Amino acid sequence: MYERFYGLRERPFSLTPDPSYLYPSSVHKEALNHLRYGIEGHAGFIVITGEIGCGKTTMLQTVLRSLDKKTSIARLMNTMLDARELIEAIMLDFGLEPHHNSSKPYLLRDLARFLVDQRNAGRLSLLVIDEAQNLSIQALEEVRMLSNLETEKSKLIHIVLVGQPNLRDLLARPELEQLRQRVTVSYHLEPLKADDTCAYINHRLKHASLGPPLTFPRAVTDIVHAHSRGVARMINVIADAILLYGYGGDKHVIDEALANEVIVELGLADGQPPPADDDDAPDSGSAAEPTLTMPVTPPPPASAPTPVLAPIRRTAPPAPPNHYVLLGPEPPPRSAFAAWWARFRAQTL
């Protein structure tokens, strides 16, 4: 599309997680260090949380790619599973074939034998559960029970839980006290600051460039930061739209006027996300949850929750702070791109 126009070998702001584009901000460096320390130090449970789209998956893939061949990895992405399905999914990802007619004790026996064999071969077994906030209480208890598989000196399996901030609220529940006590490494990934947003955008442009890289001036990156709240996925969406609109307008130089035009086109000019259809808009109501206290140094306070759209109505109950309620008729999208953006926000963010 715009790649040849701007001298790029590929789109630099794709939403697909790509470790080669990871920008080592101070926040991401610290998170990477926590994750590497937990894995290499054979810690108990490792918990990494962050807002939607803040770069957890990209960071996780970067760490997993750096591990040596003596590490057997099972990584679960689909966590809408009950306790038995979770055991089967773990076995499948380790390369085992669970028998459909086997009872749960037999499944656990086969998994334990596999882990013992890996340890005897000098290999580390690592279980990574992404989107762990979707696990049920029973499934999390099953994960905790897996951590009981151990020798006299060490655990047979090491477990990383990655999820959104409400994973901490889930772990704070009294029923998961035993699991919470086994968390030895914990980190919350914060959004990027304005300086990091500027460096992040131009880092990705440089990485994708075929020649002298295109750059976004600081005034433009400040506009992107203000309307993305420093969330990497939102930065990518806005920056990609700026390049698309620049290409459409035959603009080789990215300036504030172009950035502001895109912000208006995306429905972000007044700080609110664009409207979504009634059927797609999630409910904005949510009750305050307890804060998780880990047995290590607590992470920085979680950032404000991602704004959530409520169904459009003439009258609406008071919304919690940092949530948005749209009143009145839905304005029509200004363009096909804005219509796509509204569907993207409703379905993804």
Residue 15: band (very low, low, confident or very high) from pLDDT cuts 50, 70, 90:
confident
- Whole-angstrom distance, CA of residue 328 vs CA of residue 23: 41
- Plot region of 200 (φ>0 → left; ψ -120 to 50 → alpha; else → beta): alpha
- Whole-angstrom distance, CA of residue 131 vs CA of residue 77: 7
Segment (H or E) for 126:
strand 124-129
| C-alpha dihedral sign at 166, 59, 130, 235 | positive
Query: Residues 85-137: pLDDT tens digits?
Result: 899 999 999 999 988 788 889 999 999 999 999 999 989 999 999 999 999 99
* Confidence (pLDDT) at 337: 61
Give yes or no for a contact between 300 and 191, defined as CB atoms under 8 angstroms apart.
Answer: no
- Whole-angstrom distance, CA of residue 27 vs CA of residue 13: 20
Give yes or no for a contact between 31 and 59, defined as CB atoms under 8 angstroms apart.
Answer: yes
Say which residue, 154 or 152, is predicted with more confidence.
154
| Adjacent-strand bridge partners of 189 | 50
- Whole-angstrom distance, CA of residue 333 vs CA of residue 274: 9
Residues spanned by CATH 1.10.8 within the chain? Answer: 3-15+192-271
Tell me the average pLDDT across 206-229.
Answer: 94
Give per-residue burial for 48-59: e unless 16+ CB within 10 Å, then b.
bbbbebbbbbbb
Task: State both tokens at 145.
Answer: 């029970």
The residue whose two tokens read 């409207």 is 275
Tell me the average pLDDT across 254-261.
Answer: 94
Which of these, 137, 112, 135, 136, lies nearest to 125 by C-alpha position?
112
Residues spanned by CATH 3.40.50.300 within the chain? Answer: 26-189
- Whole-angstrom distance, CA of residue 247 vs CA of residue 306: 30
Residue 20: band (very low, low, confident or very high) from pLDDT cuts 50, 70, 90:
confident
10 Å CB burial of residue 96 (0-12, 13-18, 19+) is middle
Q: Is the pLDDT of residue 58 over 80?
A: yes
Query: Residues 289-337: pLDDT tens digits?
Result: 333 334 444 444 444 444 443 443 434 444 444 433 334 444 554 566 6
Give yes or no for a contact between 275 and 231, defined as CB atoms under 8 angstroms apart.
Answer: no
Q: Does domain 3-15+192-271 have CATH number 1.10.10?
A: no
The pTM of the whole model exceeds 0.75: no
Q: In CATH, which of 3.40.50.300, 3.40.50.1820, 3.30.420.480, 3.40.630.30 is domain 26-189?
A: 3.40.50.300
- Whole-angstrom distance, CA of residue 6 vs CA of residue 208: 10
* Confidence (pLDDT) at 24: 84
Distance of CA 166 to the CA centre of its chain: 12
